[in-house]
Amino acid sequence: MVLYLRLFKESFSFAFNALRNNKLRTFLSLLGVTIGIFSIIAVLAAVDSLDKQIKSQLSSLDSNTMYVANISFGPTEVPRWTYETFDEISYNEYKYLKAGLNGAEHVAFQLFVRPENIRYESELISGVNTVVVSKEFTDIQVLEFEKGRFYNESESNAGKPVVVIGSKIAESLFGNLEPIGKKVRIYGQKFTVIGVVKKEGSGLFGDSNDVSMFLPANYVRNRYGDNNRNFKNIVIIKPKADVDISGLKAEVTQILRNKRGIKPDGINSFFINIISGLKDAIDGIIGTLNLVGWVISGFSLLVGGFGIANIMFVSVKERTNLIGIQKSLGAKNRFILFQFLFEAVILAIVGGVIGLLLVWVIAKIMNGVVEDFEFVLSFGNMFLGFVLSTFIGLISGVIPAISASKLDPVEAIRTGM
C-alpha cells in the first residue's frame, strides 16, 4: 500500500512539474476544458433556475385547478378550424357551474381584456395589465395585501367601480401618499382604490401582480356587454380537497354539454385545462432544454478533450528521451502511465474548476443586476462539473499514457538523442 502511495505521489509530482514548465501549452489546454465545463454547467444552472422560478410562480395555485374555456392551453387533437368556431364560456354558464358542481370548492369568472390606462390627477400609467375577475378569484389564487382588501361579493356582483392595484402601480401613482380611498380614472370613469397587493416580484407568465390592477368582472360586463370580441372568457374551478379530479372533470363536462345542448355523438365545444397538465408540459420543456444544452455544450467539452489528448501526445514525444532514461533506471510501466495520466487529469480538473468559478461569478453578477430572478448554481451541478472534468481528463490522457508506458527504453533513449 505504501509503495502505491509513493508511486502516486511521485507521478503527481512529475506531472505537476511538467505542466508548470510549459505554461503556455498548459493554458491553451485548460482553455478548451474550461469553455466546455462552463458551457454545460451554465446551461444546466440556467435551466434549473428557470424551472425553480416557474414552479415558484405556480405554487400559489392548486395543481388540480381547472380552467374552462373555448381554447386549449396545450396541444390538442381538435383541428384549429373546429375550435375557432366554439362559443365563449358565458357568464350564465359560470353561474350554472357554480350552482351545479358538487366537487368544486370555489368557482370564479375571468375576462381576459387588453391593457388599460390608469390616471390619478396628473399621473398617468399606460398599458397596465388589467385582471377582470369575480370575487372568488382570491379564494383560488392567493393574494397578499400590503394595504386594504379585495372587493367583496356584493361589490363583485353589483359591478361596483372599485379597483385593487399592484405595489408598483401604487408607488408610481401616489408616491408617499395613502392610496386607499383615492379616486383613479380607468375606462374614463372614476374608480375607488380599496386595496394594494403586496410586492411579489416579476412574473414569468405575463405581467406580475406588482404592475396589475384588479376590476370586478361585472363592471366590465355591464359596460361592454357579454359578446365583445376583444374579451376572452374563462371559468376557474378549484376542486375540494378530497374530490376525485377525473370525476369532477366528467361532472363539468356533463353540465356544460347539457347546458349547450350538445348531442351524444357531438364533440365538446370547450376545453378543460388542468394546472397539473401544464406543470407536466413545463417539465417536458425543461427536460428538452436540458437535453439541447447537453448536446450543444458537449461539443465544446469534446473539443477540450481532443485538445488535452493532442497536447499529451506532444508531451510524450518531447519527453521520449526522459521516459527511456526513467525506464532504464528501473521505472515501472505503471509509473510512466500514471505520470502522464495524472498530467491529463490535472489539466482537466483545473480547467473544470476555472469553468465552475466563471459560472459562479456570473451567477453572482446576474443576481445583483437582474431583479426578481435568482440564478441558482447548485452543489449537484458543481459536483457534476468536477466529475465531468475528471472523466474528460482520464479519457483524453489514457491513450497517450499507455503509449508512453509501452516505449522500449533503448529505442526511447535513441529517439531522444
Question: Per-residue pLDDT tens for 124-183?
Answer: 999 899 999 999 999 888 888 999 999 999 999 999 999 999 999 999 998 888 999 999
Judge whether 274 lies within some domain.
no
Residue 204: predicted pLDDT: 47
Q: Residues 327, 354: one domain?
A: yes
Counting as low any pLDDT under 50, the low residues of the chain are 204-205
Rounded distance, CA 107 to CA 89, Å?
Answer: 13
Q: Residues 171, 199: one domain?
A: yes
| Residue 389, domain extent | 2-57+281-416
Q: Residues 46, 114: one domain?
A: no
Residue 12: predicted pLDDT: 61
Which of 269, 293, 325 is the last residue before a domain boundary? 269
Rounded distance, CA 140 to CA 238, Å?
Answer: 6
Three-class DSSP category at 142: coil
List Cα–Cα distances, 9 to 14, 15, 101, 220, 339, in angstroms: 9, 10, 75, 79, 10
Three-class DSSP category at 61: coil
Q: Residues 25, 156: one domain?
A: no
Which of 244, 269, 294 is the last residue before a domain boundary? 269
Judge whether 65 lies within some domain.
no
Judge whether 403 lies within some domain.
yes
Give kind and range of the element (H or E) at residue 186: strand 183-186
Q: Residues 353, 244: one domain?
A: no
List Cα–Cα distances, 140 to 180, 334, 415, in angstroms: 24, 68, 80
Judge whether 73 lies within some domain.
no
Helix axes of 320-328 and 409-416: crossing angle, nearest 10 degrees: 140
Provide the terminal-to-terminal Cα distance of the chain, rounded to the nearest Å: 37
Judge whether 76 lies within some domain.
no
Q: Residues 91, 239: one domain?
A: yes
Rounded to the nearest 10°, the torsion over CA 360, 366, 369, 372 is -120
Which of 269, 302, 332 is the last residue before a domain boundary? 269
Residue 116: predicted pLDDT: 92
Q: Residues 265, 393: one domain?
A: no
Q: Residues 310, 392: one domain?
A: yes
Q: Residues 255, 333: one domain?
A: no
Three-class DSSP category at 77: coil
Cell output for 398 = 489514457
Residue 218 burial (CB < 10 Å; 0-12/13-18/19+)? buried
Strand partners, 238: 106
Residue 234: predicted pLDDT: 92
Judge whether 80 lies within some domain.
no
199 secondary structure, DSSP code: P
Cβ atoms 221, 161 nearer than 8 A: no
Strand partners, 197: 145
**Other CB atoms closer than 10 Å to residue 113's CB: what's the count?**
18
Number of domains making up the chain = 2
In sequence order, what E strands does 25-103 have?
Answer: 66-69
Assign 3-state DSSP to the chain and report helix, strand, coil percentages, each to 5. Answer: 60, 15, 25
Q: Residues 218, 101: one domain?
A: yes
Residue with cell 347546458: 259
Helix axes of 2-21 and 23-58: crossing angle, nearest 10 degrees: 100
Cβ atoms 348, 408 nearer than 8 A: no
Q: Residues 285, 233: one domain?
A: no
Rounded distance, CA 405 to CA 205, Å?
Answer: 59
Rounded distance, CA 56 to CA 290, Å?
Answer: 19
Three-class DSSP category at 390: helix
Rounded distance, CA 94 to CA 226, Å?
Answer: 12
Report which of 176, 180, 175 is spatially closest to residue 163, judged by C-alpha positions. 180
Residue 7: predicted pLDDT: 57
Report which of 108, 112, 109, 104 is spatially closest to residue 64, judged by C-alpha positions. 104
Backbone phi, then psi, for 143, in 5-degree steps?
A: -120, 130
Judge whether 276 lies within some domain.
no
Judge whether 82 lies within some domain.
no
Relative to beta strand 232-239, strand 104-112 is: antiparallel
Q: Residues 127, 251: one domain?
A: yes
